[in-house]
């Protein structure tokens, strides 16, 4: 995996672009793909609440729109008012989207407060007994 510090920093750098006028909870994510490229995303809220998107899915869909099909790591940061004071773990929907583009036992999920203060999980730890594309073949 590329330097996790750089992946976390990419998410932190993108956090200012989050659009969260309703919840005031800003989130950013940076995804490392098998190609070695990094893609970022932020949460984007909407007055019609279900129409928004989480940062993790935004980053993954950004990567997919650029032709990527395999992610190897994701770094996630977030906090109220854009202040990162705790670890921000992905919601269930984002975990399932990660599952679409990664082997759950190999995907590294990093939740960080800073480049030096983070926790690391595999997707399998966060989404045990998951359903994936191989079940539909």
Amino acid 90: pLDDT: 98
Distances 99 to 7, 55, 57, 89, 102 between C-alpha atoms, Å: 19, 16, 11, 15, 5
pTM: 0.96
Closest C-alpha to 3, from 124, 116, 122, 121: 116
Q: At residue 25, does pLDDT exceed 70?
A: yes
56 classed as catalytic = yes
Residue among 45, 56, 68, 120 flagged as catalytic: 56
Amino acid 2: pLDDT: 52
CATH of domain 4-136: 3.40.140.10
Residue 117 backbone zone (phi > 0: left; psi -120 to 50: alpha; other: beta):
beta
82: which 2 tokens?
Answer: 């854009």
pLDDT digits 0-9 by tens, 93-134: 999 999 999 999 999 999 999 999 999 999 999 999 999 999
CA-to-CA distance for 95 and 52, rounded, in angstroms? Answer: 17
Q: Where are the domains of the chain?
A: 4-136
Cα 44 to chain center, whole Å?
A: 13
pLDDT digits 0-9 by tens, 58-93: 999 999 999 999 999 999 999 999 999 999 999 999
């Amino acid at each position: 995996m590329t330097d996790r510090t750089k992946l976390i920093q990419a998410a932190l750098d993108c956090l200012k672009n989050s659009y969260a006028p309703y919840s005031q909870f800003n989130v950013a994510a940076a995804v490392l793909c098998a190609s070695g490229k990094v893609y970022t995303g932020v949460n984007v809220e909407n007055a019609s609440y279900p129409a928004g998107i989480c940062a993790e899915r935004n980053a993954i869909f950004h990567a997919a729109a650029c032709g990527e099909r395999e992610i190897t790591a994701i770094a996630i940061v977030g906090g109220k008012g854009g202040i990162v004071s705790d670890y921000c773990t992905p919601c269930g929907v984002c975990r399932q989207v990660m599952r679409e583009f990664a082997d759950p036992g190999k995907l590294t999920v990093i939740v960080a407060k800073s480049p030096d203060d983070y926790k690391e999980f595999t997707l399998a730890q966060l989404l045990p007994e998951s359903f994936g594309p191989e079940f539909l073949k």
